[in-house]
Structure 1
């Protein structure tokens, strides 16, 4: 695959068996000369207030998601997501990501 334009799904996994949220996105994916995936996209549907709060929370905790394409039961490509001010998403492959994160909660 050198280029894919269509829909994908971002999945945020808490661990290997618990997916906390999934977001459908419209996406354009390219693969560079060394085989590294790069993509841009947008949420397929506008997020309502509750979905936006969840998205922002997950992005703040850890901006790494699994990317799934149509027909995939589960995302297999780990990507780092950056959201621009106007809602454009930039995704870069994060193959060395081990799935662990240091998270601190302030419960005061």
Structure 2
């Protein structure tokens, strides 16, 4: 595949068995001659207030998601997601990400 244009799903996994949230996106993926891929996209549906709060929370905690393409039950590629002010998403392959994150909560 050198180019894919269509629907995909971003999944935010807390651990190997718990997916906290999934977001459908419209995405364009291109692959260069060296096999490195780049992707851009947008949320397939506008996020309501609750979804936006959840998205912002997960992005602040850790912007790494798994991306699943049509026919996949679970995302197999880990990506780092960057969201521009206009809502455009950039997905960068994060194959070296080890799945760990350090988060501190202030519960006072």
- Secondary structure of 1:52's counterpart equals helix
Q: Which residue of 1 aligns with 2:101?
A: 101
Q: Which residue of 2 aligns with 1:10?
A: 10
CA distance in 1, matches of 2:97, 2:32: 20
Residues 1-108 of structure 1: matches in 2 within 5 Å?
1-108=1-108
Taking structure 1 as the reference length, what is the TM-score of the superposition?
Answer: 0.98
Structural RMSD (CA) = 0.6
CA distance in 1, matches of 2:39, 2:12: 17
- Secondary structure of 1:73's counterpart equals coil
| Unmatched 5+ stretches in structure 1 | none
Select between 33-42 and 87-96 the one with higher mean Cα deviation.
33-42
Tell me by how many angstroms 1:33 deviates: 2.4
- Number of residue pairs matched? 108
Tell me by how many angstroms 1:83 deviates: 0.2
